[in-house]
Structure 1
Amino acid sequence: MTRADGERAPSIQTTTAILWRSIITTADPDQLRRLLAECSLGSRQSFEALYRTTSGILLAVALRCLGQKDLAEEVVQEAFVRIWHNATDYDTSLSQPLTWMLSITRNLAVDQLRKRREVPVNEFLIQALEDQSPQAAEQLSAARQAMALKRCIETLDDMQKTAITNAYFHGLSCTELAVQMSAPLGSVKSWIRRGMERLRRCLES
């Protein structure tokens, strides 16, 4: 589909990618750099702060990769063990701090999938998470997309907004959302599906 201005309208997959980019930009990179630097010096307090700040994001990523919360939680715990032991190896000139942490998490998730001989991580998700070292114009485009996404999320019905934000930003499964929202599983799936379609249409405008 093409918009009136000639630009190609975003697909559901593109909308999903923008959601993931928005997740990545929710944490302050300067704060994360400071916390990682302090972790490299052995600060347990900073490590606890780092965990509180990013564990939900890493869990959401692991859950999207693995599809099972118990496995995702195991991957996140192992990821933080590696982050703690390898904080001295983090190089600020090579990647953003959250990108580095996501890479550790993603690699562990891929290893888990390979052990289980299951389907590899969705390549679209990988593309959304990998650090491509974008140029300034691309960074500006990503920032505009994130702003547009935030605006579009505010247009959703309350149930759609709650379901989508908890599924994508907090890693809850549809079953967990049904319990949390005291709603039938079918309704939760419908809210997410219809909400994603509304986001797609909103981003077209």
Structure 2
Amino acid sequence: MISPAENDEHRQLLGACAQGDRRAFERLYHSVGPRLHGVALRCVTRRALAEEVVQESFVRIWHNAARYDETLSAPLTWMINITRHLAIDLLRKRQEEPLAEQQLETLMDDAPSAFDQLNGDRDTAALNRCLETLEGMQRQSILTAYFHGLSNAELAEHLAAPLGSIKSWIRRGMERLRRCLES
């Protein structure tokens, strides 16, 4: 989990990047680069492609740091979304080899891009309101899986909980979110 201090540091570094501060960008790269690489590697499964995705992600982060809006998402969430969408785009463009069913499931993504999400503050406020209605483990499971890109098995290990419980918490939590957002 990201500590409030790390969130504050990332927020400040993004603000400095928006002002063209290259030192802040270097610090941001060293701080979040490994996490973004992990997200990219989970999506593309090849180190060289993951490195390509991370490089392009940081180019986008640098050029769009001024567009980051802290009221819509945590800084790391914003950067993970950029990385994840770039990884998915790269895989779609390359289509080198057929993907296994499990890989296809991880790529299924009808979510808007990170940039579209920045413009959806009303939806984000509704989602935040609905997330607050979830029970502790449902909320923690969904947020951890989404923010850190963990699979159910990885999440079970991370939370030291049975895999069946993780699946239940996510399924029930997502259903509650859906109902809440539809109302």
Same fold at TM > 0.5: yes
Counterparts in 2 of 1:29 and 1:80: CA distance versus 1, 3 Å: farther
| Aligned partner letter, 1:116 | E
C-alpha RMSD of the superposition = 4.1
Contact map agreement 1:102 1:129 (CA 8 A) in 2: no
| Aligned partner letter, 1:129 | S
CA distance in 1, matches of 2:83, 2:32: 12
2:6 aligned partner: none
CA distance in 1, matches of 2:168, 2:46: 24
Are 2:179 and 1:201 aligned? yes
2:73 aligned partner: none
How many residue pairs match? The answer is 156
Q: 1:143 aligns with which of 101, 112, 121?
A: 121
User: Highest CA radius of gyration, 1 or 2?
Assistant: 1
What does 1:36-185 align with in structure 2 at a 5 Å threshold? 37-39=20-22, 43=23, 46-50=25-29, 52-53=31-32, 56=35, 60=39, 63=42, 65=43, 71=45, 75-82=49-56, 87=59, 96=67, 104-111=86-93, 114-118=95-99, 121-122=107-108, 124-125=110-111, 128-129=112-113, 131=115, 139=119, 142-185=120-163
CA distance in 2, matches of 1:196, 1:132: 21
How does the TM-score come out when normalised to structure 2? 0.61
CA distance in 1, matches of 2:39, 2:145: 8
Unaligned runs of 5+ in 2: 1-9, 69-78
Contact map agreement 1:60 1:168 (CA 8 A) in 2: no
Percentage identity across paired residues of the two chains: 29
How far does residue 110 in structure 1 lie from its aligned partner after superposition?
3.1
CA distance in 2, matches of 1:58, 1:169: 14
**Larger RCO, structure (CA 8 Å, separation 6 or more):** 1
| Aligned partner letter, 2:52 | E
How does the TM-score come out when normalised to structure 1? 0.56
CA distance in 1, matches of 2:82, 2:147: 18
CA distance in 1, matches of 2:168, 2:21: 44
1:68-91 Cα deviation digits (max 9, x unpaired): xxx27764433233456xx49x75
